[in-house]
């Protein structure tokens, strides 16, 4: 039995530079945070994959379209290994832009590579990129700048641990609908350069000022709770507020852990609130 922690990610910025080959070209500063799904894997004697989901009402969701299942099937087919019994215990909110599906897929690939002792980093990255645009990044996690569809990863050597507070609306945002709505009225942002430079200098105020997401405007048209969550976090006067991914989670950056904890203790809204710290996962 092998246990894998699949950590959530946040987009601190998300710029859309255009469209190429039918895909949106992104430039995004991302980070891993200390919220994770737990994945348990066990070898099988045959080559079958058995997946069980637990938590967040995922038990009855179709297995065949689950990214963790697709990752396991792809791994077995690629490397000709035996199968696995896999259980995923969900903590990362669904449809919130925190990368739970990609994290699970990457976690399964890492776990199977450890169980069977096969699969180089480059081979796993190649396989991960077929499962989702940010799945390759999720194999390692940490601070990074993602470009292209998200498959071009520039890791950043950042020791700073950021203090963040997330509000999670009860309903999500469809990624496909959000991008489609963006395409009808593009509103490009250019936040990532300034955010990365601020982060590298350890200038949290500059980083907070740069937080932005090109998908925020279409997201609030699809889910008004995103705008409400954004406004509620702004009331605590953080260094910056942004939406992650295509929503619906909204996150605020605070100067230190004390201010972040205070904001959480004083929050009286209707949304789920989670206190987060960035980290570089130990792979």
Whether 225 is catalytic: no
pLDDT of 76 over the 90 cut: yes
Q: Compute the average pLDDT of residues 51-58.
A: 97
**Rounded percentage of the chain residues whose pLDDT exceeds 90:** 96
R_g of the chain, CA atoms, integer Å: 18
257 with 155: CB under 8 angstroms?
Answer: no
Q: Enter the tokens of residue 78.
A: 């690629």
The reported pLDDT for the residue numbered 187 is: 86
Distance CA 147, CA 74 (A): 24
Residue 114 confidence (pLDDT): 97
Residue 283 has pLDDT above 80, yes or no: no
Q: Which of 9, 27, 125, 225 is an active site residue?
A: 9
Instruction: Report the pLDDT value the prediction gives residue 209, as an integer from 0 to 100.
Output: 98
Q: Binning pLDDT at 50, 70 and 90, where does residue 15 land?
A: very high
pLDDT-based confidence at residue 120 (cuts at 50, 70, 90)? very high
| pLDDT per residue as tens digits for the range 110-119 | 999 999 999 9
- Mean pLDDT across 206-214: 98
pLDDT in tens, 173-194: 999 999 999 999 998 889 999 9
* Confidence category of residue 282, pLDDT binned at 50, 70, 90: confident
Alpha-carbon distances of 169 from 27, 152, 248, 250, 282, rounded to whole Å: 25, 30, 6, 9, 30
What is the per-residue pLDDT across 155-176, written as a single tens digit (0 to 9) for each? 999 999 999 999 999 999 999 9
Residue 271 reports pLDDT greater than 80:
yes
- Residues contacting residue 236 through CB under 8 Å, at least 6 positions apart: 165, 252, 254, 259, 263, 266, 267
- Position 188 scores a pLDDT of 85
Examine residue 84 and say whether the peptide bond preceding it is cis (omega within 30 degrees of 0).
Answer: no
Q: What is the DSSP track for 187-218?
A: -----HHHHHHHHHHT-HHHHHHH-EETTHHH
User: Is 43 one of the annotated active-site residues of the chain?
Assistant: no
Question: How far lies 90's CA from each of 7, 66, 137, 179, 213, in Å?
Answer: 11, 13, 20, 26, 26
Residue 282 per-residue DSSP state:
-
Catalytic residue among 37, 104, 129, 134: 134
**What's the pLDDT tens digit per position in 94-110?**
999 999 999 999 999 99
């Amino acid at each position: 039995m092998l246990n894998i922690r699949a950590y959530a990610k946040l987009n601190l910025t998300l710029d859309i530079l255009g469209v190429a080959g039918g895909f949106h070209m992104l430039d995004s500063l991302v980070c891993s945070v200390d919220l994770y799904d737990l994945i348990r894997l066990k070898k099988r004697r045959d080559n079958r994959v058995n997946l069980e989901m637990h938590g967040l009402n995922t038990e009855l969701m179709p297995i065949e379209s689950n990214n963790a299942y697709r990752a396991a099937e792809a791994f077995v087919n690629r490397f000709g290994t035996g199968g696995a019994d896999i259980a995923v215990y969900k903590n990362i909110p669904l449809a919130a832009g925190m990368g739970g599906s990609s994290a699970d897929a990457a976690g399964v690939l890492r776990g199977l590579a450890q169980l069977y002792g096969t699969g180089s980093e480059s081979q796993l990255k190649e396989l991960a990129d077929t499962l989702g645009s940010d799945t390759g990044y999720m194999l390692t996690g940490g601070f990074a700048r993602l470009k292209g569809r998200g498959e071009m990863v520039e890791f950043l050597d950042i020791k700073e641990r950021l203090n963040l507070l997330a509000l999670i609306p009860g309903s999500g945002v469809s990624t496909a609908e959000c991008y489609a709505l963006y395409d009808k009225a593009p509103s490009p942002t250019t936040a990532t350069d300034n955010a990365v430079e601020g982060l590298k200098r350890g200038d949290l105020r500059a980083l907070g000022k740069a937080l932005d997401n090109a998908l925020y405007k279409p997201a609030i048209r699809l889910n008004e709770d995103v705008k409400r969550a954004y406004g509620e976090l702004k009331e605590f006067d953080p260094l910056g507020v942004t939406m992650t991914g295509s929503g619906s989670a909204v996150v605020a950056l605070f100067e230190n852990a004390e201010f972040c904890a205070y904001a959480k203790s004083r929050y009286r809204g209707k949304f789920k609130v989670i206190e987060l710290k960035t980290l570089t996962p130990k792979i």
